[in-house]
Amino acid sequence: MYMGGYDIRFRFINLQNKLFQQFHLPRLNWNPRKEQNEFRCLALGYLIGTRRHARFLISARENATAAVAESLEIEKLANILEDFKMVLVVRNDLKMGKGKIAAQCSHATLGLYKKLLNKAPKALNRWEMCGQVKVVLKIESEEELLVLQKSAKSLKLPTHITVDAGRTQIAPNSRTVMAILGPADVVDEDAKPYRDWKAPG
């Protein structure tokens, strides 16, 4: 004989109450309407959760596909060339202190590294095998920095510009340092107009 879900739960509650009464525990009350509402809430929560999970999986798959499709040009060059270099271009007009410059260069290096982890792992590996060579140059304005970035992009070189929060020394949202990575000869040619950085002493 078929028993509905409510009948089964009602009997189960009665059985629990008998056991609780035997051991002097508080009784359980069963409210069909409350049970029905709770069940609906649980079902709705489950459906929302599964849909979000499905959307997350689809989004992650699409992002992975896009990352493969957007593999950078230097990834191909890493199969041919061995000497890779990173150039860090510091804005001299901001008059940052030595510690600030060091921090901003670190941010730029890490920012570019994270960008290339999926898009150009071979190029990163080449750079690491070369001893992670880094050269620091200075530039005199934000406009020059953006012009240099445009030039680097035209050569298919990846870049990352650090934007400072402005908590110390400089204004918020200031572009401070740009990192460029690529074959040493190409990077050197692109950054040729700019002089080696000499920290104020």
Q: How confident is the model at residue 73 (pLDDT cuts 50, 70, 90)?
A: confident
pLDDT in the model for residue 69: 42
Q: Which CATH architecture describes the domain 73-190?
A: 3-Layer(aba) Sandwich (3.40)
Residue tagged 């000499």 (tokens): 198
pLDDT in the model for residue 75: 86
pLDDT tens-digit readout, 82-137? 889 999 999 999 999 999 999 999 999 999 999 999 889 999 999 999 999 999 99
Q: How far is CA 17 from CA 5, 7, 8, 30, 44, in A?
A: 18, 15, 14, 11, 29
Q: How confident is the model at residue 143 (pLDDT cuts 50, 70, 90)?
A: very high
Distance separating alpha carbons of residues 186 and 182, to the nearest angstrom:
7
Kindly report the pTM of this predicted structure: 0.62
pLDDT in the model for residue 82: 81
Mean pLDDT for 126-150 is 94
pLDDT at 186 over 60: yes
pLDDT in the model for residue 187: 85
pLDDT at 44 over 70: no
Q: Alpha-carbon dihedral of residues 181, 183, 189, 194, nearest 10 degrees?
A: 30
Mean pLDDT for 12-24 is 57
pLDDT tens-digit readout, 49-60? 655 555 555 555
pLDDT at 191 over 90: no
Domain boundaries, the chain: 5-69, 73-190
pLDDT in the model for residue 68: 44
Contacts of 187 (CB under 8 A, 6+ apart): 85, 86, 87, 157, 180, 181
Contacts of 78 (CB under 8 A, 6+ apart): 84, 120, 122, 123, 125, 126
CA angle 169–170–174, rounded 5-degree value: 150
Helix axis angle, 32-69 relative to 5-22, nearest 10°?
110
pLDDT at 194 over 90: no
Q: Where are the alpha helices (DSSP H) in the chain?
A: 5-22, 32-69, 73-77, 98-119, 121-129, 142-154, 184-190
Q: Which residue has the higher pLDDT, 99 or 67?
A: 99
**DSSP symbols for 146-163:** HHHHHHHHHTT--EEEEE
